[in-house]
Homo-oligomer: A and B are copies of this chain.
């Protein structure tokens, strides 16, 4: 196209999981929560009036930020509200990396959340990709490599997608220290609500770090993928930098009210997280009993290697889809023999397992 910048023309757009419009499909493919948001979220939405819609919203989502700061034991100046995690990722690139291969690019490990590479392509930032170790762990040499680089931002999704693996605080601290003074470490905690540990301790003053940003989202743990609300946590100077580049009123008045209600109701959220963690173990065991290899996961999904003797992963994905069950198949290196399956309700998980039994049995005959 005549008018586009060349990097936009060259772009491979981000491909999200399928989103069927019908309400019948069992969607275990995009890591949505199987549970709706807290009732208080709908109550908050019901308080919205024509008068509040008529006016511009609070520009920095002050109410939400105060609530999030309280939940995380931080100051509101360390909280940045965004249109889902995606906006935070984009702003991090805009603010801390050079466009059009200008020097400071991004560093990622692979496989990882594929949007990082897409966003770098839109901005024009260069991408340095390092393969993860065999079990999808970060190579111990990565920090050293970063220390000698001019990387503007390193992106780490932790717990990792699509494997579900959790990296230690020490590993993350080592990466941040390697980048300190030149680059930012973005820790994407999209799935942290289902994990044993967060990187929040790296934000305390005694960590000595000023270059760590943590991404959070309400899409997974709070049952609010439809709301597009996320937030960043980090050093006030990093937040102030991002604040200069965001759209003037980047989150709307309804989303702010809903998000604030969601994060204030930690009891409701924690109850749902514990159900998902419980059912994740049941699903893992049930898949293992059927011959899948399923590593430990700290997310709301499992990455299951299909049994070697049976049909391949793509064909199981297709058969499940024909049965009205969507799971995620990635046609990329290291993932072609695997399925990423979101933990659903007990009923959904059982429906999946029954379908798998039929598929595996049929194909073996």
Binding site for B on A (CB under 8 A): 1-5, 8, 11, 13-14, 16, 19, 21, 23, 27, 30, 32-37, 39, 41-42, 45-46, 48-59, 83-84, 86-87, 90, 94-100, 102, 104, 115, 122-124, 152, 181-184, 211, 219, 223-229, 237-238, 240-241, 244-245, 247-255, 258
Contact of A98 among B5, B83, B254 (CB under 8 A): B5
Please judge, given known A-B contacts A2-B182, A46-B46, A254-B254, whether A249 and B54 are in contact too, CB under 8 Å: no
The residue that A248 contacts in the complex, of B51, B115, B248, B254, with Cβ under 8 A, is B115
Once A45-B48, A56-B19, A255-B252 are accepted as A-B contacts, the answer to whether A98 and B96 lie under 8 Å apart by CB is: no
- Contact sample, A vs B, 9 pairs, CB 8 Å cutoff: A5-B97, A13-B244, A23-B51, A36-B50, A45-B45, A56-B226, A83-B252, A86-B247, A227-B254
Give the chain B neighbours of A229 by CB distance below 8 A.
252
Would you call A226 and B3 a contact (CB within 8 A)?
no
Q: Which residues of B contact A254 (CB under 8 A)?
A: 45, 226-227, 254-255, 258
User: Which partner residue on chain B sits nearest A36 by CB separation?
Assistant: B50
Interface contact A1-B59, CB-CB below 8 Å: no
Residues of B within 8 A of A50 (CB): 36-37, 39, 41-42, 223
- The CA of A23 and the CA of B52, in the complex, are separated in Å by 10
Copies in the complex: 2
Cβ–Cβ contact A99 & B124, under 8 A:
yes
Which residue in chain B gives the minimum CB-CB distance to A243? B13
- Which 5 pairs of residues, A with B, have the shortest CB-CB distance? A36-B50, A226-B253, A99-B99, A228-B252, A86-B247
CB neighbours of A96 from chain B (8 A): 3-5
Which B residues lie within 8 Å of A5 (CB)? 94-98, 104
The answer to whether B33 and A225 touch across the interface, beta carbons within 8 angstroms, is no
